[in-house]
Structure 1
Amino acid sequence: MLNALEVFTTVVLGVMVGVEFSVAFVMNPIFRGLADDANQQARSHGGRMLGAVMPVWYIGSLVLIAIWAVAAWGDDGTYLLVVAAALLLVSVVMSILLLVPINNQSKTWTAGNRPADWKEQVHRWDRYHYVRVAVIVAAFAVLVAALL
């Protein structure tokens, strides 16, 4: 049963990391290449769609790691699960404090109501997101190391 939990948790977190990595390094660069209206519209739509699912994914991943850590407590590598959970917790706090406030505004923007500094806000979100991606990639690497 523990093996199934390990695999499931690793896959759930790994797919989440892949989605966030692709947002940072594939989708957003594509959006930046579009005209301003299309760029902003794509980001707003992405913000609504991913803004609905990512909180569940982040918290769910953290809960899965915590369950794994409790189930494997005392085994070799359990401390790595605690480190992975701590890194994921940092990413959740970053999201709540830094990224979600920008996302909550930008997902409602249209060509007619976006603020004059919308590009600056988008760039700030991107910078925070790069840091968050680095943190969750580290969490995923540590989680995989716990498997070994």
Structure 2
Amino acid sequence: MLSALEVFTTVVVGVMVGVEFAVAFVMNRILGALPDDASQTGHSHGGRMLGAIMPVWYIASLVLAGIWAVAGRHHHGTGLVVTAAALLILSVIMSVLLLVPINNRNKAWTPGNRPADWKEQLNRWNRWHYARVAVIIAAFASLVAALV
């Protein structure tokens, strides 16, 4: 049963990493290449869509890592799982304090009501997002290392 939990947790976190990596290095570049109105509308729609699912995914990943750490506390690799859980906690804190406030503003913007500094705010979100992606990649790598 523990093996199934380990694999399931690793897959859930790994897919989350893939989505966030794609947002950072694929979607944001595609949206950034569009004209301003289309770019801003795309970012706003993405903020609403991903803003609804990603909090659940982050918390579920953290809970799964926590369960793995407790269930496998007497097994090899538990320190790595605890490290991954700590990194996932950091990613949630970063999200709540740094990224969500910008996203909450962004998802309400339209070409008619966006602030003059909307690009600067999105650039700030992107910089924090890159840091968060690095954190969750480290969490994922810790989980993978705990498996071997």
TM superposition score category, shorter chain reference: over 0.9
Question: TM-score, with normalisation over the residues of structure 2?
Answer: 0.99
Structure 1 residue 67 displacement after superposition? 0.4
Question: TM-score, with normalisation over the residues of structure 1?
Answer: 0.99
Deviations 1:57-110, CA, capped at 9 Å, x for gaps = 000000000001111012111010000000010000000000000000000000
Partner of 2:38: 38
Please tell me the root mean square deviation across aligned C-alpha atoms, in Å: 0.4
Consecutive unaligned residues of structure 1, counting only runs of 5 or more, are none
Partner of 2:117: 117
Partner of 1:21: 21
Structure 1 residue 116 displacement after superposition? 0.4
1:58 maps to a residue whose letter is Y
Distance across 2 between alignment mates of 1:60 and 1:121: 28
Superposition pairs of residues 39-118 of structure 1, within 5 angstroms = 39-118=39-118
**Identity in percent:** 73
Q: Which stretches of structure 1, 4 residues or longer, exceed 3 Å deviation after superposition? A: none
1:87 maps to a residue whose letter is L
Distance across 2 between alignment mates of 1:107 and 1:10: 30
Superposition pairs of residues 118-133 of structure 1, within 5 angstroms = 118-133=118-133
Distance across 2 between alignment mates of 1:75 and 1:128: 35
2:29 maps to a residue whose letter is P
2:50 maps to a residue whose letter is L
Distance across 1 between alignment mates of 2:77 and 2:5: 15
Distance across 2 between alignment mates of 1:66 and 1:32: 37
Partner of 1:10: 10
Consecutive unaligned residues of structure 2, counting only runs of 5 or more, are none
Q: How many residues align?
A: 148
Partner of 1:146: 146
